[in-house]
Amino acid sequence: MAPADVIVLGLGGMGSAAAHHLAARGVRVLGLERFGPAHARGSSHGGSRIIRQSYSEDPAYVPLVTRAYELWGDLEAETGADLLTLTGGIYLGRPDSPTVAGALAAATEWDLPHEYLDAGAIRSRFPTLNPGPDTVGVYEQRAGFVRPEASVAAQLSVAARLGADLHFEEPVLSWSANAGGVEVTTARGAYRADHLVVAPGAWATRVLGLPFLVERQVQYWFAPAGGTAPYVDHPVYLWEDPSGSSIYGFPSMDGPDGGVKVAFFRRGGAGTDPDALDREVRPEEIAAMAARAGRDLPTLPGTFLRGAACMYTTTPDGNFVVGTRDRVTIACGFSGHGFKFVPVVGEILADLAIDGTTRHPIALFDPGRLPGSNQFPMGSPS
């Protein structure tokens, strides 16, 4: 094969975006992925991910998600793929809950169009929702969802068309970096390049030795009582109850047989081994989701259709880890809220790999804030 300028380790959401943006700048890219393209073994599957601007986690994310919207549009135009759908979004809870107060703070700081709704206004406008008297909501029109599998496939397609050499079913055994370059070893051979981008998803703890919690998360699909019609023109939502437990959900996306999707946010319990993820969805898990959904959305749960397990790779503070040192750039720890940022993270990773810096605000994601970050970069098994 021709020599590479940059090797990208991991071709899921972030890695596929990095390969795309690097190849678009004329960089010779080698991509290595332990599974197949757009696989369902990690965190980039399940048919939908929420995208939103009034960012409750921290207002510092707003400029990045704003740029992500632009890049999602560019990717759709380039590929013809249906990736981003705007539905509106509502973020519910008590006025002082992190979900509501955080969304309101971000919308206020960045002057984002939004509405503040009391319980009566929520019920009147969205009859599928059943808020208690103390519940309020922040509504924004420019929220919606992106389709993860289609997005990864689209980015891989563009990267390959632009000349990236993408290898699948080729796990990395080790890698190393020094002043002369980087070397990556797989079962098929050793590859050398000037720079390495590591986007390992749930395998970040193994590849980089950083202190992340890999959480098992379950997504559920139900057929609502009375049918999906009330959920067709429906916002995405995040809903935090007084105990701090949160759920999130989507409109009906794929016709009556597709039902509607709902899930708990960060209810993964103890950490899991990404190579031994329990993919069975158990009756007691379905019952817990049905009880919560039935309390908040009157026509749910209806009939359970299916469930799917995925993984969150969560950092101690819930913020991402993106940075570069010497000849290695890393992107990991997206903590269950990263997929909406995929194209802008790809742009950032290309900036860092080529120039060593980026115009985007990423100080919040500095790997140096984490225990054990002094080990980065280092050679490691995958």
What DSSP line would sit under 185-234, residue for residue?
EETTEEEEESEEEE--GGGHHHHH----EEEEEEEEEEE-TT-SGGGTS-
Q: What is the mean pLDDT of residues 237-252?
A: 97
Q: Is the pLDDT of residue 89 over 70?
A: yes
Instruction: Judge whether residue 152 has pLDDT over 80.
Output: yes
pLDDT score for 269:
66
Amino acid occupying residue 334: F
The contacts of residue 106 (CB under 8 Å, 6+ apart) are 53, 54, 55, 56, 58, 59, 61, 62, 112
Candidates 50, 51, 54; CA nearest to 110 is: 54
Show Cβ contacts of residue 161 under 8 Å, excluding neighbours closer than 6 positions.
none
Average pLDDT over residues 100-113: 98
Does residue 76 have a pLDDT over 90? yes
pLDDT at 382: 42
pLDDT for 352 equals 98
Residues found in the chain: 382
CA distance 101 to 203: 33
How distant is the alpha carbon of residue 99 from its chain centre? 18
Whether 62 and 106 have beta carbons less than 8 Å apart is answered as yes
Of residues 185 and 272, the one with the higher pLDDT is 185
What is the crossing angle of helices 148-161 and 13-24, to 10°?
Answer: 30
What average pLDDT score do residues 30-53 get? 95
Residue 375 is predicted with a pLDDT of 61
pLDDT for 371 beyond 90: no
Residues 271/289, Cβ–Cβ less than 8 Å: no
**What is the Cα–Cα distance from 158 to 23, expressed in whole angstroms?**
9
Angstrom CA distances, 88 to 67, 111, 327, stand at: 18, 17, 41
- Residues 245-270 have a mean pLDDT of 91
- The pLDDT score that the predictor gives to residue 358 is 98
Q: Tell me, what's the pLDDT at 266?
A: 81
pLDDT tens-digit series, residues 328-366: 999 999 999 999 999 999 999 999 999 999 999 999 999
Smallest CA-to-CA distance from 29 within 20, 37, 41 is with: 20
Contacts of residue 120, defined as CB under 8 A and 6 or more positions apart, other chains included, come to none
Is pLDDT larger for residue 22 or for residue 3? 22
Q: What is the pLDDT of residue 210?
A: 87
Residue 185 confidence (pLDDT) above 90 = yes
Give the angle subtended at the CA of 209 by the CAs of 203 and 212, to the nearest 5°. 65
Residue 381 has pLDDT above 50, yes or no: no
Which tens digits make up the pLDDT trace of 262-307?
999 987 667 889 999 999 999 999 999 999 999 999 999 999 999 9
Integer CA distances (angstroms), 69 to 58, 83, 115, 142, in order: 18, 11, 21, 10
Q: Is 80 exceeded by the pLDDT of residue 232?
A: yes
Whether residue 379 has pLDDT greater than 60: no
Supply φ then ψ for residue 56, to 5 degrees: -65, -25
Task: Determine which helix (DSSP H) or strand (DSSP E) holds 314, and give its type and residue range.
Answer: strand 303-314
Confidence of residue 376 (pLDDT cuts 50, 70, 90): low
